[in-house]
Structure 1
Amino acid sequence: MRYPDLPLPPSTGGFILSGHLNRSEPLLAVSHFDPQKYRDALAAESGIPLPARLQQAVRKRRAEYLASRLLVRSVMAELGIPDFILTNAPDRSPCWPAGVQASLSHSGGVVVVAATRQPWAVGVDVEQVMPETTAQETAELLMSEQEQELLRTLPISFSAAATLLFSLKESLYKALWPQLHQPMDFLDAALVSADFAQQRATLQLTQDFGGRFTSGTLLEAGFMWRDTQVITLITHRL
């Protein structure tokens, strides 16, 4: 998994600090933004009006919305869909164009988008490394005893390993939701391997969701670190 390195056109106003993509399969893009430089006027100038539900939201939330929609618009243009504005279904899931499988995540001033026209389930996530106390306090919620043992063998701190696991399971949930429309518990899938040299991981479903996603199904993931952030990506051919 390679960090995006092809620059996207710069944005005016200083709100978007940088944007890059990889023309890979799936296409992967990342942007950095400064929430403190967000202004509502930027949304209007960009042709991406804030929905009513965000009119009174905190500034950080409005900044995340605009930054994510700007990156999605750039990614969809790469796929031949210009001027696309991402909206949400009543369950808050994103409404992607017909024939496109995609996923979006944002955290700590970073937005990541993965998209493809291939018949794949796609899930992407970005997370800030959690504090060690949080990792210890949430271990039983996030992972089985076997997963805890595996995480402690990885060449990173336990808090970083727990963040990686959390992000992988978030990517898995995002990949499967459009296929299943069923909630998932963190223990409904287990991390069975993580290769830091290849930046690859494998998860296995521990719950039977039927169809293509029965208990025991293996799903492959990629991951990469950037400063104190981890990005994870799951693709699964349908």
Structure 2
Amino acid sequence: MHITEQSPFTPILNYSFHSRAFDASQYQDDDYIYFNQPLPNKLQRAVAKRKAEYLAGRVCAAKAMIPLGITHFEVHSGEDRAPIWPAKIRGAITHSKGIAMAMVTDAENVLGIGIDIEHYMADKQELELQSQILREDENEAFAQLGQLHDKPLTLVFSAKESIYKALYGQVQRFFGFDAARLIDCSENSLRFSLTSTLHETLPQGFEITVFYQYAHNMVLTECVHLRQ
């Protein structure tokens, strides 16, 4: 499988990142050996596309950690499917239709990082999924966002995925799309408020800023949970 160093995005957050393009149609199991990554037992029977996505994400994670002085570390997944990073490292991995990215940091004030890449949803899909992703009390802010962008639901979906990744390390349990409410938007950021207390460091009303950018019919969202 071809995995080439390529990024349609330059993240706004100033942490170490690495992005790769990959062609899942050319995937073979030997690719894990070539890229010096272990094929997890739980993926042995997975379809080639899933194996390719996992591998590309782990290659990005390994490359992103090199500037932090970490080499040859294998980023496994826990039972909750979250990446298991080295001690004192916070990070996130994302992939979407042939693009993968990882972002990591060892900054002591960072409790979690979230990144997500999504290809644009079709208009019909945005309409069908709107009630699953949006709360009713987000309608006003969402209408404002719709005046700025043609694919507002894709953006909100991606932003809430990034929030989940950034906060999960503290929360350590599943929480849904309704846990964060869109309250404001600008040309490169969205602001959300937590609708309930998720953790002692994440009380109801806690606000989170998610940065975003578009490229090639994709959106990248990114956010960070900082120690207060």
Question: Which residue of the partner structure matches residue 230 of structure 1?
Answer: 219
Alpha-carbon separation, structure 2, partners of 1:22 and 1:220: 14
What does the per-residue CA deviation read over 1:109-157, in whole Å, with 9 as the maximum and x for residues that have no partner? 1112111111312111111111111211121211123423322323222
Sequence identity of aligned pairs in percent? 29
Find the residue that maps to 1:153 and give its secondary structure.
Answer: helix
> Which runs of 5 or more structure 1 residues have no equivalent in the other structure?
1-13
Alpha-carbon separation, structure 2, partners of 1:44 and 1:27: 25
Q: Does 1:61 align with 2:50?
A: yes
What does the per-residue CA deviation read over 1:43-68, in whole Å, with 9 as the maximum and x for residues that have no partner? 11222131122122111011111111
Find the residue that maps to 1:112 and give its secondary structure.
Answer: strand
CA shift for structure 1 position 24: 5.9
Which residue type is aligned with residue 151 of structure 1? F
Aligned partner of 2:149 among 146, 156, 159: 156
Find the residue that maps to 2:220 and give its secondary structure.
Answer: strand
CA shift for structure 1 position 40: 1.6
Q: Does 1:125 align with 2:112?
A: no
Considering Cα pairs closer than 8 Å and 6+ residues apart, tell me whether 1 or 2 has the greater RCO. Answer: 2
Do the aligned partners of 2:11 and 2:222 also contact (CA within 8 Å) in 1?
no
Aligned partner of 2:95 among 106, 109, 125: 106
Find the residue that maps to 2:169 and give its secondary structure.
Answer: helix
Cα 1:22–1:168 shift into 2, 3 Å: closer
Which residue type is aligned with residue 176 of structure 1? L
Question: Which residue of the partner structure matches residue 165 of structure 1?
Answer: 156
Do the aligned partners of 2:170 and 2:199 also contact (CA within 8 Å) in 1?
no
1:192-207 alignment to 2 at 5 Å?
192-196=183-187, 199-207=188-196
Question: Which residue of the partner structure matches residue 178 of structure 1?
Answer: 169
TM-score, scaled relative to structure 2: 0.90
Question: Which residue of the partner structure matches residue 88 of structure 1?
Answer: 77
Aligned partner of 1:142 among 133, 147, 154: 133
Question: Which residue of the partner structure matches residue 71 of structure 1?
Answer: 60
Alpha-carbon separation, structure 1, partners of 2:89 and 2:171: 17
Alpha-carbon separation, structure 2, partners of 1:22 and 1:144: 28
Do the aligned partners of 2:16 and 2:65 also contact (CA within 8 Å) in 1?
no
TM-score, scaled relative to structure 1: 0.87
Find the residue that maps to 2:6 and give its secondary structure.
Answer: strand
